[in-house]
Copies of this chain bind each other. A is one copy, B any other.
C-alpha cells in the first residue's frame, strides 16, 4: 500500500513514537539483528505491539506476516516517513553551555541532521570553534542562510532574547524551530515550533513521585521488581 502521502492526520503521539522506534532499530542493527517482531519491539521499547503496528499502519504496510519486520529496511522506511532520509541543514543560535552540548551530540548524523552554522552575539564567543564549527556573529544570520538555505533552527539563548532570535530565523527562511528557551514564542502560523522545557519535566516528575501512594516510605532501596517497565510519560523516546 505505502500511502506515503497520508491524508488522514497522523496522531502526534504516533510520530513521537516513530522516533523511538528508529532509535531502537538502530541499536538492533548494530547488534546484528536482522528481523524483529512487534512483540519484540514491545519488549525493547515498552510500547505495546498493537500500538507499534497501528503507528506504522498510518503509513502503509512494512512487515511480513508470520515473520516480522526487516530491521534495516524498516529503519530506512521510518526515516523516509519522518523525512529525515536525506541530510537537512540546521541553524543553531546561542553558543552557551546548552548550545555547545547540542553541537557535541554525536547522533545528528544518524538522524540526518547537520548543524551547518552557529550564531551568537557575544563577541567573546564569535570566532571560536565548537566541534569544528565556527561561531558567527548573530547579525550575519540572514546573509549566511541565504547560501545555506536551512529551514530548521534551534534556539538556545536566554529567555529574553528568544523572541527576536526567532523572528530573525523566520525572516531568514526557517520554517521549523526547536525552542529551548523557557518562553512561549509568537510566530506566524506557517512556522512550526516545538518547545523543549526540562524544568516542566521535573515539575511533572515531582507530582508523579509524590502521588504514587501517599507520603513516600523512608527509603525504597529494595531493588526487587527488576526488569519491569518503568512508568513513562509522553516524552518517551
Is B199's CB under 8 angstroms from A107's CB?
yes
Tell me the complex Cα distance, A10–B207, Å: 10
Asked whether any CB of chain B lies closer than 8 Å to the CB of A143, the reply is no
Asked whether any CB of chain B lies closer than 8 Å to the CB of A148, the reply is no
* Contact among B113, B203, B223 with A19 in the assembled complex (CB-CB below 8 Å): B203
Asked whether any CB of chain B lies closer than 8 Å to the CB of A33, the reply is no
Query: Which residues from 151 to 209 on chain A have a C-beta closer than 8 Å to any C-beta of chain B?
Result: 151-152, 170-173, 175-178, 180, 182-209
Is A182's CB under 8 angstroms from B23's CB?
yes
Asked whether any CB of chain B lies closer than 8 Å to the CB of A123, the reply is no
Tell me the complex Cα distance, A189–B230, Å: 5
Is A206's CB under 8 angstroms from B176's CB?
yes
Copies in the complex: 2
Residues of B within 8 A of A27 (CB): 183
Residues of B within 8 A of A16 (CB): 200, 204, 234
Report the minimum CB–CB distance from A75 to chain B (whole Å).
Answer: 12
User: Which residue on B lies nearest to A17, using beta carbons?
Assistant: B200
Tell me the complex Cα distance, A60–B112, Å: 47
Of the candidates A46, A104, A211, the one having the most CB atoms from chain B within 10 angstroms of its own CB is A211
Query: Which residues from 91 to 110 on chain A have a C-beta closer than 8 Å to any C-beta of chain B?
Result: 96-98, 100-102, 104-105, 107-108
Chain A: residues with CB nearer than 8 A to chain B?
A: 6, 10, 12-13, 15-16, 18-20, 22-24, 27, 44-46, 81-84, 88, 90, 96-98, 100-102, 104-105, 107-108, 111-113, 151-152, 170-173, 175-178, 180, 182-212, 216, 219-237
